[in-house]
Structure 1
Amino acid sequence: MLNDQKGNRVMRQQAKTIGIASLCSLTLLLAGCAGPSRPPADNERSAAPAVNQVATVPSAQIAQPSPVGRADDWAPPLQVSPEEEAAYYVSRLADRRFVSQYGGPDNPRPWYIAAERLGEIGMPAVPLLFARLNTEDQYELMLVLYALQLATQDPLVTFQTGGEAVQLPTVLDPSANGENRRIAQQWWERYATQLELR
């Protein structure tokens, strides 16, 4: 039991440290330190398959990205820690070019690079994503919510929330943004203090 208490105390301290580092990263991000994305080098382009590009996106199809790239075209410029990587990808959520495709030519589907990477990063991304919940950009909000659903499934999060992650009934649909934002905010109000990230 003493070991459990010590382990919980260590986990809380680690979560607190991650939260502080995340806030510092967010401050740097807001100051414009994320930098531009790195285009592929010439030798990378020659080895890459050709990808079709779409010129514009009608507002009625907000969930569809504009030009399509490859997932390896987009990498954080100075990736040092998970918090800095998370800050970089959060800064790219509104960029409609920041996508790739999967599913083959018969069934092409968009792969939202930033949201998927944030889901893989997990706990360090959670406070940064909640900080973006008030965005007015419906495309960005859709991806913030999707990334939150993925990131809150991180075992470091669910360990502290008793297995509870953000569960959205519909994802990647801008018409569901209002309800999904309400669900995410309720989750944050219930578990933010347990995560010691507030």
Structure 2
Amino acid sequence: MLLAGCAGAPPAPAERPAAEPAPPPVAAVPGVGVEERDWLPPLFSGVEDEAHYYISRLPDRRFVTTYGGEEHPRPWYIAAERLGQIGEPAIPLLAARLESSDEYELMLALYALMLASQDPSLMAATGGDTLELGSVLDPRHNAENLALARAWWQRQGWRWE
């Protein structure tokens, strides 16, 4: 008689040591690079809250990081860039900062206002009327840029009244 079959269960696969759990991923924030992440407050309750936070950081000269690598380092003005990315909701807050006596804050408010005026939904409403500044991020050009910003606000400011 020929017996065929198994004399028991197949051999168990070699047990692997339990892998260490992976560290939790760093929360991704749209539009925020690795360098900026450390500057973020823990939570925003909405876009207005975020805009107010970054407005409060405009005069802070430490609220800057760099980009461009070691060969061509350039300053990245975190508050101004984020306000520009926020776009239309930041505009009335930025317009209020046009009266700042701090040349650094004014320089960044002008730059952020220029960026925010390029919000696609706002451009659709204004027919493409954006704030166009000459030289930016140089306080020596604040006076001429302020005149351009006031002229733009004269044309478009009614939208936020």
- Please give the alpha-carbon distance, in whole angstroms, between the structure 2 residues aligned to 1:105 and 1:111: 14
Is 1:91 matched with 2:32? no
Is 1:150 matched with 2:120? no
Alignment partner of 1:117 out of 82, 86, 98: 82
- Please give the alpha-carbon distance, in whole angstroms, between the structure 2 residues aligned to 1:104 and 1:149: 26
Runs (4+) of structure 1 exceeding 4 A deviation are: none
Alignment partner of 1:164 out of 125, 129, 134: 129
Shift of 1:115: 0.5
Shift of 1:70: 3.0
Shift of 1:155: 1.3
Q: Which amino acid in 2 is paired with 1:93?
A: L
Shift of 1:158: 1.1
- Please give the alpha-carbon distance, in whole angstroms, between the structure 2 residues aligned to 1:163 and 1:84: 27
Counterpart position of 2:151: 186
Shift of 1:108: 0.7
- Kept after mapping to 2: 8 A contact 1:70/1:99: no
**CA RMSD, Structure 1 to Structure 2 (Å):** 1.5
For residues 37-186 of structure 1, the aligned pairs below 5 Å read: 70-186=35-151
Shift of 1:75: 1.0
Summarize deviations over 1:40-71 as a string: whole Å, max 9, x none.
xxx9xxxxxxxxxxxxxxxxxxxxxxxxx931
- Kept after mapping to 2: 8 A contact 1:99/1:112: yes
Q: Which amino acid in 2 is paired with 1:159?
A: A
Q: Which has the higher helix share?
A: 1
Aligned-partner SS, 1:111 = strand
Looking at both structures, which has the greater relative contact order when contacts are Cα pairs under 8 Å and sequence separation is at least 6? 1
- Kept after mapping to 2: 8 A contact 1:99/1:111: yes
Percent identical among aligned pairs is 57
Shift of 1:76: 3.2
Q: Which amino acid in 1 is paired with 2:100?
A: T
Shift of 1:83: 1.0
Structure 2's unaligned 5+ residue stretches are 1-22, 24-33
